């Protein structure tokens, strides 16, 4: 069987949960089938919509260059240029099934294009981008908020509120269209004429380009009122409403949705996905990464955050909570690349007051066993719903209890005082009380370890998904009841 696996971004540049899962699933399925990964990524030294074909650790991939210089808001989800390229790739690959992992940076029309060709369509939902135009986190800046902390949860899909995010996306994309095009030409010229002669490597070049993009972003925020499209508030509402309606209709062509958490499944059923077309099945884990975990002793209880230090991950809530802990029996280690969202992470370091908080920096996922060997409790303080966080699964494999927010897929995985502790989302005071209970209550960490469940392996997951593929290819209409 030939399987095409589209996703928004991929390894090695992007190492978040969906990318790692897609890689692991593709590698496992490739033992018995041919798997091709399709993804988009930015490269400001190349023309938009160029295609790169290559091989990553034995997996054939197609990378489409998308510098996100959209002319209109609709192109963020309904992109005719992407659709043309997808037709070309389907002509070349001729897949038996298309298993979507994400469509951010691509086009939702891919679903319909595959369906019209008679190709079965599976879609694993990793978060809420189909519902939410702003990256899928279902978060928005508070009406009168200006700081990076001013985020609030969208508890439902409300186009009137979505319109505020559309305003921001529209104005910043418009500036990006011209700025990124100019930046790409100038930077490419610099790399050829100046960078090479100066011995500038690709990492240094990329870091410089990233700083320029951040400057562009700040410029857009400052001048957005002057360059915003001349449309009314009513028009932005219509743009948000049209997105919801368009995507809901496209989703009818998906044969089967897979939701890795019960919360995610219920959310999409409310959105309009028929119950029989969406099943709950948690993501499998490649346990080979964790074979070398060996608990390292420590005089202190080691709390860890592992992931991307970005605003929706709520690291500021954790830092605020730990700032108020005056107990030298505990330390907090924050593992993650601070350069991903520097406008958030650098103020985060400045707000850190407790000397027992340590920023450990970027890590390779292959080294995760070393980090877990030096972790006693994992903290997942996300301020959005999450889905089925990779880090929680990693902790459970390693026998580590988890403290996490009491919403979304996090609350689906962690049972309070059984395999971890739940705290009120965004509440640093409540999180602090949970951390203190683990420090001061004798034997609590060990009791929570005893309640940790078995984690599904990627081998088990791939076999299950393979069975779904076979049913769909054979035309089984009851596959959703598997």
Which DSSP letter does residue 296 get?
P
Q: Is the preceding omega at residue 198 within 30 degrees of 0, hence cis?
A: no
Could you list the pLDDT tens digit for every one of the 482 residues in the chain?
Answer: 999 999 999 999 888 889 999 999 999 999 999 999 999 999 988 999 999 999 999 999 999 999 988 888 899 999 999 999 999 999 999 999 999 999 999 999 999 999 999 999 999 999 999 999 888 889 887 765 444 556 889 988 888 888 878 876 665 444 444 444 444 444 444 444 444 444 444 455 455 555 555 555 544 444 444 444 445 666 888 899 999 999 999 999 999 999 999 999 999 999 999 999 999 999 999 998 887 788 778 889 999 999 989 999 999 999 999 999 999 999 999 999 988 888 888 889 999 999 999 999 988 777 888 999 999 999 999 999 999 999 999 999 999 999 999 999 999 999 999 999 999 999 999 999 999 999 999 999 999 999 999 999 999 999 999 999 999 999 886 676 44
Residue 399 gets the label, from left (phi > 0), alpha (psi -120 to 50) or beta, of left
Q: What is the DSSP string of 383-409?
A: SS--SS-HHHHHHHHTT--EEEESSHH
Q: How many Cα atoms sit within 13 Å of 162 on the Cβ side?
A: 25
From the list 91, 94, 93, 68, the residue with the least C-alpha distance to 79 is 68
139-141 and 151-153: which strand pairing? antiparallel
d(CA 4, CA 6): 6
Q: Which domains does the chain have, with CATH numbers?
A: 2-138+242-285+458-481 (3.40.50.2000), 140-240 (no CATH), 287-450 (3.40.50.2000)
């Amino acid at each position: 069987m030939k399987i095409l696996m589209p996703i928004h971004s991929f390894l090695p540049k992007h190492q978040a949960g969906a990318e790692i899962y897609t890689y692991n699933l593709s590698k496992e399925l490739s033992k018995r089938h041919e798997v091709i990964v399709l993804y988009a990524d930015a490269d400001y030294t190349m023309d938009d919509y160029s295609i790169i074909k290559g091989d990553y650790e034995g997996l054939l991939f197609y990378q489409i260059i998308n510098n996100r210089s959209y002319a209109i808001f609709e192109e963020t989800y309904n992109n005719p240029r992407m659709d043309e390229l997808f037709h070309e790739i389907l002509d070349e690959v001729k897949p038996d099934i298309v298993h979507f992992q994400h469509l951010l940076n691509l086009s939702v029309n891919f679903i319909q294009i595959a369906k019209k060709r008679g190709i079965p369509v599976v879609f694993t939902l990793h978060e809420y981008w189909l519902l939410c135009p702003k990256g899928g986190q279902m978060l928005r800046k508070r009406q009168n908020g200006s700081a990076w902390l001013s985020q609030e949860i969208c508890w439902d899909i409300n186009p009137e509120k979505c319109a505020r995010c559309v305003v921001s996306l529209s104005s910043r994309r418009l500036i990006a269209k011209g700025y990124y095009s100019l930046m790409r030409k100038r930077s490419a010229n610099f790399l050829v004429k100046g960078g090479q002669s100066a011995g500038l490597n690709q990492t240094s070049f990329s870091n410089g380009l990233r700083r320029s993009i951040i400057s562009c972003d700040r410029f857009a925020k400052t001048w957005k009122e002057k360059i915003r499209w001349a449309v009314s508030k009513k028009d932005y509402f219509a743009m948000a409403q049209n997105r919801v309606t368009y995507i809901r209709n496209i989703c009818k062509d998906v044969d089967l949705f897979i939701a890795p958490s019960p919360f995610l499944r219920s959310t999409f059923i409310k959105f309009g996905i028929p119950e029989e077309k969406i099943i709950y099945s948690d993501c499998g884990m490649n346990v080979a990464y964790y074979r070398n975990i060996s608990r390292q002793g420590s005089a202190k209880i080691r709390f860890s955050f592992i992931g991307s230090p970005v605003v929706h991950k709520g690291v500021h809530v954790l830092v605020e909570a730990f700032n108020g802990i005056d107990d030298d029996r505990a330390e907090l280690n924050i593992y993650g690349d601070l350069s991903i969202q520097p406008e958030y992470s650098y103020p985060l370091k400045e707000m850190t007051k407790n000397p027992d908080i340590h920023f450990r920096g970027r890590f390779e996922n292959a080294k995760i066993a070393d980090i877990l060997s030096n972790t006693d409790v994992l903290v997942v303080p996300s301020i959005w719903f999450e889905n089925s966080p990779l880090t929680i699964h990693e902790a459970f494999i390693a026998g580590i209890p988890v403290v996490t927010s009491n919403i979304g897929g996090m609350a689906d995985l962690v049972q309070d005082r059984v395999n971890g502790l739940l705290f009120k989302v965004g509440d640093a005071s409540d999180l602090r009380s949970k951390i203190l209970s683990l420090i001061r209550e004798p034997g609590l960490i060990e009791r929570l370890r005893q309640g940790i469940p078995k984690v599904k392996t990627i081998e088990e997951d791939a076999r299950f998904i393979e069975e779904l593929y076979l049913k769909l290819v054979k035309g089984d209409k009851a596959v959703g009841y598997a």
